[in-house]
A and B are shown apart, each in its own frame.
Chain A
Amino acid sequence: MVKRLGLLFISLILLLSQAEAKDTYERYCVDCHKELPTSLQRMFMHYLLVYGGEQNMKAGLKHYLKYPIKEISVMSELFINSYGIKDKTTLSDRQIEEALDIYWNKFKVIDKLK
């Protein structure tokens, strides 16, 4: 019995520590985007096509996350009609910037071309 309780306690701690290990991007972006048919990678390329630079893209994304409207979305008409516009973010500026930094580093083209 004691053994079982011990194992349960350890599992709980591991689960909690895993949840803690998730970064801002994983926690607040990936979960919601799982449901969508377009991957975060493809969306990144959409943003890159429109904004064409790190600072420009981050600024554009941050603005969209805070004030999401159809007119400034980079997604297609069909996508927006099917899935709508995202809700206004509840994240702080710092959290948004942190998430965007991770997003940029994860999918950036620089250093990946051969």
Chain B
Amino acid sequence: MLVSKNKATNSLLKSEKKSLLRFLTLYVAMVIIIITLFSLFYYQSQEKLMLAEQRATLTKYAYIQTKRLKVLHHFFDDRTVYPRDPRFKSAIYDLEYIKIFSLLENENIHFDKEIYINKGTIHFVKSLDDFYLGTKYLILEVPDSGAWRGESWKNILGYGFFAFLFFMLFGLYLAKLFLKPMRDSIVLLDRFIKDTTHELNTPLSAILANIEMMDRDVMVEKNKIKLTRINIAAKTVSVLYQDLTYLTLEQEKENHDEEIEIKDLIHDRAEYFMILAESKQLECSLDLDDATIIIDRRKFTRVIDNLISNAIKYNKRNGTVGIILREGMLVIWDTGIGINEGKIPYMFDRYMRFNQSQGGFGLGLSIVKNILDEYYISINVESTENKGTRMILKW
């Protein structure tokens, strides 16, 4: 899985982003639903308002038409011409919904409603008490100009857009409030680490210097083993210390980019970690071609150290750690516990640790990613649980 470029370690963690994205998705969906419901309510109220206005007019027309029907009823069948009016079209239906006569353009009538809009026309259904000409239902039809609809849509889109904008700004403010406790705790942790780092330097240097100075030839075998263990522990702490120092103090330092012979550097760092690998009876497989890269040596060392350190730390006893170097590509692989594919995108987050059995603060890979991003070096993680992991760097 190719891990995308990010500066997340300094701004937002992936887990923070995920929480923020979930919150915003939910919030946006809620805002859209609320605006839609309000729009619907507004549209319906506008429709009702228009129909209420039409109802008053059509009731008057219905009264006039009923009078005409009454006259026609009394003179039927000397007179058989149905009364017409230029202001509206009408139809008459009997008690059994049988059409007696109709001038309507739209014959789709809803007898259960008093007034409604139907395909560009407004129908008004008047129920008569006296069935002139057998008429129970008098239906009046006028065209629906649709002007109210255009006006309503204009208002919905206009006000809806501003409401959406307002809610979005409010949502961002809420999101900041929502993330504040999480961010505060990270800041607190950063400050704590920065403070403690200063205190680690002197004792750690003293331990490592004294280990180097000890004369192993005069030691008994039992003490040699003990010294080796102290050496391993000290180097593990040293890597952690260097990470913390880098993170808190050196990160902001200016880069001193130079052309580095990677092969030499790897040999040097492999030798440094050899004692750790031996403690787990790991086999080392180095397949190194000559290759160079222009980068700050200090930073590239942090990358190599962390990747090798992880390959050793999360390996199985009697496993293998391998390094393949080609021009433009570096692969560090192991036969360790691997990592679930779903967790790969989060493994570069600061303080992210998937295996609690091993020590550490979860800083190493965050630093690696930070440096690789800075130098536009891509990192591809291929991992199978219980089989191993391959970290492929390309530049």
- Report which A residues bind B (CB closer than 8 A): 41, 45, 48-57, 107, 109-110, 112-114
Contacts and interface: CB of A to CB of B under 8 A. Distances in A.
Nearest to A109: B133
Interface string B107-136: 000000000000000000000001111111
A112 B98 contact: no
Nearest to B128: A52
Given A45-B73, A112-B77, A52 B135 contact: yes
A53 B92 CA distance: 12
Contacts of B80: 112-114
A21 B6 CA distance: 103
Contact of A110 (B95, B100, B131, B132): B100
Contacts of B73: 45, 48-49
Nearest to B93: A53
A52 to B, nearest CB: 3
Contact of B133 (A41, A48, A54): A48
Given A45-B73, A113-B100, A113-B101, 16 more contacts: A45-B74, A48-B133, A48-B134, A49-B130, A49-B131, A49-B132, A49-B134, A53-B94, A53-B131, A54-B94, A55-B96, A57-B134, A110-B98, A110-B134, A112-B80, A114-B80
6 contacts: A48-B134, A51-B95, A51-B134, A54-B96, A109-B100, A113-B133
A52 B136 contact: yes
B82 A52 contact: no
Scoring A41, A57, A113, A114 by chain B CB atoms within 10 A of each residue's CB, the highest score goes to: A113
Given A112-B77, A113-B80, A114-B80, A52 B100 contact: no
Nearest to A108: B134
Contacts of A41: 77
Contact of A52 (B77, B101, B131): B131
Contacts of B130: 49
Given A50-B131, A52-B95, A56-B96, A109 B136 contact: no
B81 interface: yes
B76 interface: yes
Contacts of A54: 94, 96, 98
Contacts of B95: 51-53, 56
B121 to A, nearest CB: 22
A48 B101 contact: no
Given A45-B73, A52-B95, A56-B96, A114 B131 contact: no
Interface in B50-84: 73-74, 76-77, 80-82
A114 B82 contact: yes
A53 B134 contact: yes
